[in-house]
Amino acid sequence: MDDAQRIQQLRDEIREHDRQYYVDAKPTISDRQYDRLLEELKQLEAANPELITPDSPTQRVGGEPIEGFEQIEHARPMYSIDNSYDPDDLRKWADRLPLEVDSFAIDPKIDGVAISLRYEDGQLVLAATRGDGRQGDNVTQNVRTIRSVPLSLDTQGSPPPAVLEVRGEIYCPWEVFNKWNEQLEEEGQQLLANPRNATAGLLKRHDSRIVAQRRLEFCAHGRGQLDGVDATSVTEFNQQIAAWGIPTNPFTNTANDIDEVLKIIAEFETTRHNLPYAVDGMVVKVNRFDLQDELGFTSRFPRWCIAYKYAAEQAETTLLEILWQVGKTGKLTPRATLEPVLVAGTTVQHATLHNMGEVLRKDLRIGDRVIIEKAGEIIPQVVQALTKERPQNAKLPTPPTQCPECGGDVEIEFDQRRMHDVKAWESRVEREKQRAEKKGEKPREIPQPAPITELDETARYCMNPECPAQFRERLEHFAGRGQLDIDGMGEKVVEQLTEAGLVRTIGDVFRLRERRDEVLELERMGEKKADNLFAGIDAAKQRGLARTLSALGIRHVGSTASRILAEHYRTIDKMIAASEEDIATFKIGENESGIGPEIAKSIYAFLHSHTGEAVVEELRTAGVSLEMPEEETSGSAGSALAGKSLVVTGTLAKYSRKEIEELIVKHGGKASSSVSKSTAYLVAGEKAGSKLEKATKLGVPVLTEEEFETLIAE
């Protein structure tokens, strides 16, 4: 292959990855792998400058507009940042700067999504994504739900600047990210690759209430158009905007020369692991704005700025075994057992392999030396096998054709999109044949997609509805925290109950009291423990429809979907009476419900299946509440205060008056200044005076700051 061909091949490949990454927010290769492709292209283009075209991925910022959002032309373009994994490149960059620089600003590079916030006369008027750098998506509605983005600047009495464009990062803190992935796991859905993709995926949602449910954060790191802001450097600018209430990074540092810069970067390598958000590098900027302006930009990057990226946390180890675990939906997931190895400060012995297709695509053999990677707190991944070092006796893994726990039949699922393409091909050829025949032409050739092979496998399921392993997992989920939360029925007890055959169906749980003697025979089960268990089971009957539904662990139907369904249908009977179409398409006010066809199909199939009908009957007989209590209609987070009027009084500990009023507005409420009969709540801090008195007199509920926070939390 000559250079020109390889260049073309790389460009095609990179564009495809850009689309998956920026548009779909679902990358299929690691950033490191992507950067390698881009680096190869850069080098080939450097050797063959005549082949550079303006549309090459080396010449432009990668994003593309996302369907359904208004396109916004940026007042000043938003660039990417040149980056390197090699400290020497930073030195070279500094040496080559054509002017004297005596101050650099160094910032953690938060791994989120770039955003431009535009304030006019102190009011937030626009939030736009970077897009292709010239044009981005107007995501103002979504960004307004983010608590750390002030809706108006707090200029403390002085007139606000006419125009302030702050560039920064919207990101998903680890805590939010991990909780979210746990929930996806529970729902049997694909996990999010990393916090950046999580953020990107969320920001392009068309229902801002869904965005509001996930506590994204914002941190500023740059400037766009400015009018009426007199800062002359990064340092001054940060001070200025921080005073106006815009979050800046407390770890921003300055250095006088590149040696000092490299020292700060090296020191931060450990600090970054202790931060509540993902940091993948550090950004070094020329501090003074006049020098920045003099240096200007290339087609993709500012010349006054470079990013150092920390190497991914990888380690080499041996793949000892692949075990298959049975989940509550019957899904069999391969899990790698590894020779223990230290990565990013923790010992790793297991890694997820997702499915057999992935095992085959990665060409893994038992006994292989493998590279594993751990990003933040994400489950470790196997990146690749070192095939050149493959030992003679390395063994091909064999996926189970029978459930490893019950021997039940196994069904294999293949990539839906590929299946569709392959199927559609035959009918496309057929249509072309008919068309050509009619016109008396020779039919055009339609390229055939590669046939479906075992490499396209996406999942394997144990099909035995009575599979004890599945039932055990389901029961553990059913009784678990956040579900029916049955006191006294943890993992161990579930195991005992299923093993002893005391619980074979969900209904058996509620009949346990009748088998008290047998329960007492279980190991380490005393009178007190048993009574505690029975009380826990009784209490669980009153959790309401939303939690009961989510406790059933129906595929794709997790806690969020269950709540939305319960709030809409109110009773199980109405839900059963609904058509699949209705479940998929009902709206909440004017908004999509967020349920969609996949969830609808799953819940409908469950409710109308033999098992589903039996479970519902059993729950009913046991007296489990299958209704949504009236007072629990809260609306979704983000509109928790919809239509309500709130008054704030006294001195608050955590918020300024302005901040809390903004929060009220963000959650759909109205902040008013005087207490009346129509006031929904009074939020009272220290030294509350006459308003508190009046509220008490009128019977208006009074909230502390914490109670207020609970109210607006999901």
Question: 403 touches which of ligand NAD, Zn ion, none (CB within 5 to 8 A by kind)?
Answer: Zn ion
Burial environment of residue 392 by CB neighbours within 10 A (0 to 12, 13 to 18, 19 or more)? exposed
Single residue of 10, 11, 21, 549 touching ligand NAD by CB under 6 A:
21
467 marked as part of a ligand binding site: yes
172 marked as part of a ligand binding site: no
107 marked as part of a ligand binding site: yes
Contact, 300 vs 58, CB < 8 A? Answer: yes
**Could you say whether residue 242 binds ligand NAD (CB under 6 A)?**
no
12 marked as part of a ligand binding site: no
Single residue of 146, 234, 306, 307 touching ligand NAD by CB under 6 A:
307
Hunting for tokens 């302006």 — which residue is that?
A: 293
Whose Cβ is closer to ligand NAD: residue 272's or residue 563's?
A: 272
Q: Is 109 designated active site? A: yes
**Could you say whether residue 224 binds ligand NAD (CB under 6 A)?**
no
Whose Cβ is closer to ligand NAD: residue 11's or residue 130's?
A: 130
Hunting for tokens 């997702």 — which residue is that?
A: 354
- Cα 2 to Cα 563: distance, rounded to the nearest angstrom: 58
Which positions lie near Zn ion, rule CB under 5 A? 403, 405-406, 408, 462, 464, 467
Question: 80 touches which of Zn ion, ligand NAD, none (CB within 5 to 8 A by kind)?
Answer: ligand NAD
Whose Cβ is closer to ligand NAD: residue 81's or residue 692's?
A: 81
**Could you say whether residue 192 binds ligand NAD (CB under 6 A)?**
no
In 500-544, alpha helices (H): 506-510, 516-520, 527-540
Q: Minimum distance from CB of 255 to ligand NAD (Å)?
A: 15
Whose Cβ is closer to ligand NAD: residue 114's or residue 663's?
A: 114
Q: Which residues pair with 169 in a beta bridge?
A: 114, 219
**Could you say whether residue 304 binds ligand NAD (CB under 6 A)?**
no
Which residue in 545, 378, 555, 563 sits closest to 473, CA to CA?
Answer: 555
Contact, 263 vs 87, CB < 8 A? Answer: no
Which residue in 101, 211, 267 sits closest to 592, CA to CA?
Answer: 211
Hunting for tokens 């069904």 — which residue is that?
A: 411
Backbone angles phi, psi at 672, to 5 degrees: -120, 170
**Could you say whether residue 165 binds ligand NAD (CB under 6 A)?**
no
Single residue of 7, 11, 25, 27 touching ligand NAD by CB under 6 A:
27
**Could you say whether residue 195 binds ligand NAD (CB under 6 A)?**
no
Single residue of 114, 312, 578, 616 touching ligand NAD by CB under 6 A:
114
**Could you say whether residue 69 binds ligand NAD (CB under 6 A)?**
no
According to DSSP, residue 557 is labeled -
Whose Cβ is closer to ligand NAD: residue 170's or residue 332's?
A: 170
**Could you say whether residue 31 binds ligand NAD (CB under 6 A)?**
yes
Single residue of 34, 324, 471, 510 touching ligand NAD by CB under 6 A:
34
- Cα 171 to Cα 154: distance, rounded to the nearest angstrom: 23
599 marked as part of a ligand binding site: no
Q: Which helix (H) or strand (E) holds 436?
A: helix 416-439
Whose Cβ is closer to Zn ion: residue 405's or residue 457's?
A: 405
Residue count, binding to ligand NAD (CB under 6 A)? 25
According to DSSP, residue 303 is labeled T
579 marked as part of a ligand binding site: no
Helix (H, G, I), strand (E, B) or coil at 353: coil
- Cα 148 to Cα 232: distance, rounded to the nearest angstrom: 25
Q: Minimum distance from CB of 247 to ligand NAD (Å)?
A: 12
Q: How many CB atoms lie within 10 A of CB 126?
A: 19
Given CA atoms 490, 496, 499, 504 in this order, what sign does their dihedral have?
negative
Whose Cβ is closer to Zn ion: residue 375's or residue 494's?
A: 494
Relative orientation angle of helices 491-499 and 468-479, to the nearest 10 degrees? 140
Q: How many Å is the Cα radius of gyration of the chain? A: 29
From residue 605, alpha-carbon distances to 468, 550, 567, 681 in Å are 22, 15, 20, 43
**Could you say whether residue 313 binds ligand NAD (CB under 6 A)?**
no
Strand 645-649 relative to strand 679-684, pairing: parallel
Question: 406 touches which of ligand NAD, Zn ion, none (CB within 5 to 8 A by kind)?
Answer: Zn ion
**Could you say whether residue 328 binds ligand NAD (CB under 6 A)?**
no
Whose Cβ is closer to Zn ion: residue 246's or residue 326's?
A: 326
Hunting for tokens 């939390």 — which residue is that?
A: 713
Question: 71 touches which of ligand NAD, Zn ion, none (CB within 5 to 8 A by kind)?
Answer: none
Q: How many Cα atoms within 13 Å fall on the side-chain side of residue 653?
A: 6
Q: Which helix (H) or strand (E) holds 332?
A: strand 332-343
Question: 368 touches which of Zn ion, ligand NAD, none (CB within 5 to 8 A by kind)?
Answer: none
Single residue of 11, 74, 109, 563 touching ligand NAD by CB under 6 A:
109
Q: Minimum distance from CB of 322 to Zn ion (Å)?
A: 18
Single residue of 7, 11, 18, 575 touching ligand NAD by CB under 6 A:
18
- Cα 544 to Cα 352: distance, rounded to the nearest angstrom: 35
Q: Which helix (H) or strand (E) holds 290?
A: helix 289-295
Whose Cβ is closer to ligand NAD: residue 222's or residue 380's?
A: 222
Q: Minimum distance from CB of 231 to ligand NAD (Å)?
A: 16
- Cα 472 to Cα 491: distance, rounded to the nearest angstrom: 9
Considering the candidates 26, 42, 92, 109, report the single residue annotated as catalytic.
109
**Could you say whether residue 62 binds ligand NAD (CB under 6 A)?**
yes
Hunting for tokens 């991944």 — which residue is that?
A: 381
Q: How many Cα atoms within 13 Å fall on the side-chain side of residue 527?
A: 0
Q: How many CB atoms lie within 10 A of CB 581?
A: 11
**Could you say whether residue 81 binds ligand NAD (CB under 6 A)?**
yes
Structure tokens at 152: 């108006």
**Could you say whether residue 308 binds ligand NAD (CB under 6 A)?**
no
| Closest residue to ligand NAD, based on beta-carbon distance | 114
Question: 462 touches which of Zn ion, ligand NAD, none (CB within 5 to 8 A by kind)?
Answer: Zn ion
Binding site listing for NAD(+):
31-35, 80-81, 107, 130, 169, 285, 309
Q: Return residues touching ligand NAD (CB under 6 A).
A: 17-18, 20-21, 27, 29-31, 34-35, 61-62, 80-81, 83, 107, 109-110, 114, 130, 169, 221-222, 283, 307
Binding-site annotation, residues for Zn(2+): 462, 467
- Binding site membership: which residues? 31-35, 80-81, 107, 130, 169, 285, 309, 462, 467
Q: What is the set of active-site residues?
A: 109
